[in-house]
Amino acid sequence: MHAIGIDIGGTKIAGAVVDELGGIVRSDRVPTPADPRLLEDAVVAMIEGLRGGDEIGAVGVAAAGFVDAAQSTLYYAPNIDWRNEPLRAKLEARVGGTVVVDNDANAAGWAEFRFGAGRLVSDMVMLTIGTGVGGAIVAGDRLFRGGFGAGAELGHLRVVPDGLACGCGQRGCIEQYGSGRALLRMAGEIADAGGIGQALARARAERGELDGAIVGGLIEAGDPGAVAALRQLGHWLGAAAASLSAVLDPQRFVFGGGVAIAGELLLEPIREAYLEHLPARGYHPEPDFVVAELQNDAGVVGAADLARVWVAEHA
Residue partners of 80: CB distance under 8 A and separation at least 6: 8, 32, 36, 39, 63, 65
Q: Which stretch binds Zn ion (CB under 5 A): 17-25, 89-97, 151-159, 190-198?
A: 151-159
**Under the criterion CB under 5 A, does residue 240 sit at the interface with Zn ion?**
no
**Under the criterion CB under 5 A, does residue 166 sit at the interface with Zn ion?**
yes
Amino acid at 8: I
The least CB distance from residue 186 to Zn ion, in Å, is 18
**Under the criterion CB under 5 A, does residue 150 sit at the interface with Zn ion?**
no
User: CA dihedral defined by 293, 296, 299, 300, rounded to 10 degrees?
Assistant: -110
Which is closer to Zn ion, CB of 45 or CB of 168? 168
The least CB distance from residue 148 to Zn ion, in Å, is 18
Q: DSSP 3-state assignment of 287?
A: coil
Residue partners of 46: CB distance under 8 A and separation at least 6: 6, 13, 15, 28, 30
Which is closer to Zn ion, CB of 60 or CB of 178? 178
Binding-site member from 44, 45, 139, 168 for Zn ion (CB under 5 A): 168
The least CB distance from residue 5 to Zn ion, in Å, is 28
Q: Which stretch binds Zn ion (CB under 5 A): 65-73, 99-107, 166-174, 291-299?
A: 166-174
- Give residue 280's region: left, alpha or beta (phi > 0; psi -120 to 50): left
> What's the CA gap between 178 and 73, in Å, rounded?
29
The least CB distance from residue 134 to Zn ion, in Å, is 12
- Contact pattern from residue 171 through residue 210 relative to Zn ion, giving x for each residue in contact according to CB under 5 A and a dash for the rest: --x-------------------------------------
Q: Establish how many alpha carbons lie within 13 A of residue 159's alpha carbon, considering only the half-sphere containing its beta carbon.
A: 26
Which is closer to Zn ion, CB of 61 or CB of 182? 182
**Under the criterion CB under 5 A, does residue 50 sit at the interface with Zn ion?**
no
User: CA dihedral defined by 117, 118, 119, 121, rounded to 10 degrees?
Assistant: 140
Q: Which stretch binds Zn ion (CB under 5 A): 61-69, 105-113, 153-161, 207-215?
A: 153-161
**Under the criterion CB under 5 A, does residue 311 sit at the interface with Zn ion?**
no
Q: Residues in contact with Zn ion, total (CB under 5 A)? A: 5
> What's the CA gap between 73 and 87, in Å, rounded?
6
**Under the criterion CB under 5 A, does residue 80 sit at the interface with Zn ion?**
no
CA distances from 204 to 108, 208, 260 (A): 33, 5, 23
Binding-site member from 88, 114, 145, 156 for Zn ion (CB under 5 A): 156
Residues that bind Zn ion (CB under 5 A): 156, 166, 168, 170, 173
